[in-house]
Each structure stands twice: as C-alpha cells, then as structure tokens.
Amino acid sequence: MSVVIRLFQVADRQAVRKICADSADMGKPAERIFPDRELLADMMISYYTDFEPQSLWIAEVEGEVVGYLSGCLNSRRFLRVMIWRIAPGILFQALIRGIFLKKQVQRFLIAMLKSFKLGGFKRSIPFDKYPAHLHIDIREGFRGQGIGQGLMEKFFAQAKNAGIPGIYLTTRQDNTACRFFERTGFSIAARYPLVIPEGDNFQVIHSVLYVKEL
Ligand SMILES: CC(C)(COP(=O)(O)OP(=O)(O)OC[C@H]1O[C@@H](n2cnc3c(N)ncnc32)[C@H](O)[C@@H]1OP(=O)(O)O)[C@@H](O)C(=O)NCCC(=O)NCCS
C-alpha cells in the first residue's frame, strides 16, 4: 500500500468531513452520540478546513483520502475563531433544524452541564508552553498500518519549524487511541471528570489532557 501524506486541498473538504463524522465516537460513527452529522462536522472540523488549512495534513491511498491530522499552531486564535466566527453559525443552524428538540441532544447537553458542575471544563492548558493542538482520524480499514504515525511526524516537523515549543490534545481516557498517543511521545498532564449519557443513565468517566514538548 503506498500512502501519500500531503497538505489539505479544498477538494478534500467533503472527504475529511465524512471521516470526521464516521470516527467521532472514538473511531465509530457519530450517530450514537449526536444525531446530525453535518452540524457535528461543523463543530469538530470546520475551523481546520476553513480557517487553518495550512496545518491540516491528509493521508491518501490510490487517490482516496483515508485519514487526516487537523492541527492548529495557535490555540488562542482557535478559541477566538470558534467563539466569534463558528459557534454563532452552528447555533443558528441548530435552531432552524430543531436540534434542541431531539432527546439525544437534550441528554448530551445535560451530560455537559453535569461535567461542568464536576469541574470538567476547568481546564488550565498552559498555551505559552503548548500553543499547538491536534486531532487525528484514520478511516476504518486503514488503521494500524503506520498512517497515523506518518501524519504525526509531518505535523511535529511543521510545528517545530514554526518555533512551537509544545503540542496538546485531549481525548477520553477509555479511548484505545491513548496507547497511540503515548507511542508518539505524548504524556498525561491532567485528567478531568466527563459525564456521558449511558442508556437511560449518566456515567462519570475522565477525559485526558496529553502534552508533548518539541
Ligand atoms: C488512533 C489512530 C489515529 C492511530 O492511527 P493508526 O494509523 O491506526 O496508528 P499507527 O499504525 O501509525 O500506529 C502507531 C503505533 O501506535 C500503536 N497504536 C495505534 N493505534 C492503537 C490503538 N488503537 N491501540 C493500541 N495501540 C495503537 C500501534 O500499535 C503502533 O505502535 P508500534 O509502533 O509499537 O507498532 C487511528 O487508529 C484512528 O483513527 N482511530 C480511531 C479514531 C480515534 O480514536 N482518533 C483519536 C481521537 S482523539
């Protein structure tokens, strides 16, 4: 299998959004956690495709996009763009599509509120030390073949060349990808309580903040 790793082009946008929605639930399709794939992709990937495509790396096999690493070199800018440019559009779309009337979304929001009450969002990420962050997803059927590692190496080199001192990422503690992040040099800096809907109940698990110095 010959894998090409290259920067994102506008023509990749739909393929990247599809992989994002197909992998959103720890590598499984989004539908178990959120009912609207387009809105979910807007939340999770539109910053990277539309505002920082120069840090979005694509893995391609025989002309097909099979994975991506969406990087960001300036997480303060990311937060500003998310709050002022992306979130208002998502909220508007959510309202006109009646998203808040769906039981699954109401439970998702209740879980977020419970996480907030437990201090799950009191994250003090030291942006001076770790200004960059990333997300990574490989399509099912192409995992475990070195593609994730290849994407990571491209982004690490890009960030290092840009003089970035460190990178962070967050994931769920029960995600098997934790092993991958440890293999690629990340270590755990903090854990935060995270409440998730589970059947008719809620379950408290943890999210993990991983960091890596360059
Ligand atoms: C996690 C993921 C990005 C890893 O990419 P990949 O191409 O499958 O990983 P690689 O083949 O490059 O593996 C690199 C190393 O990590 C290890 N590894 C990768 N995925 C692993 C997993 N799920 N569990 C345990 N180890 C894993 C590999 O064994 C390999 O170790 P080795 O060098 O000792 O052989 C990919 O499997 C994926 O997209 N998973 C689903 C989505 C996801 O969970 N994304 C992260 C969300 S935060």
Domain ranges of the chain: 3-213
What H or E segment, with its residue span, contains residue 19? helix 13-23
Ligand 1 atom 24 nearest Cα: 176
Give the model's pLDDT for residue 1: 82
Interval 9-18: pLDDT, tens: 999 999 999 9
CA distances from 213 to 49, 130, 156, 168, 204 (A): 25, 8, 10, 9, 30
Output the pLDDT for position 123. Answer: 85
pLDDT at 32 over 90: no
Query: Which atom in ligand 1 lies closest to the alpha carbon of residue 180?
Result: 16
Measured from the Cα of 138, ligand 1's closest atom is 39
Average pLDDT score over residue span 32-39? 90
Distance in angstroms between the alpha carbons of the first and the last residue of the chain: 30
Is residue 33 pLDDT above 90, yes or no? no
pLDDT at 49: 98
Q: Which CATH architecture has domain 3-213?
A: 3-Layer(aba) Sandwich (3.40)
pLDDT score recorded for residue 200: 86
CA-151 nearest atom, ligand 1: 12
User: Could you tell me if 58 and 16 are in contact, meaning their C-beta atoms sit under 8 angstroms apart?
Assistant: yes
Would you say the CB of residue 123 lies under 6 angstroms from ligand 1?
no
Per the prediction, the chain carries an average pLDDT of 96
Give the closest residue (by CA) to ligand 1 atom 40. Answer: 27
Asked whether 208 lines ligand 1 (CB < 6 A), one says no
Distance CA 194, CA 173 (A): 10
Ligand 1, atom 10, lies closest to the CA of 146
> Is-contact 140 185, C-beta < 8 A?
no
Q: Based on C-alpha coordinates, what's the Rg of the chain?
A: 17
Mean pLDDT of the region 23-52 = 94
Question: pLDDT tens digits, residue range 66-108?
Answer: 999 999 999 999 999 999 999 999 999 999 999 999 999 999 9
Output the pTM of the full model.
0.95
For the residues 117-124, what does the mean pLDDT come to? 91
Model pLDDT, residue 199: 83
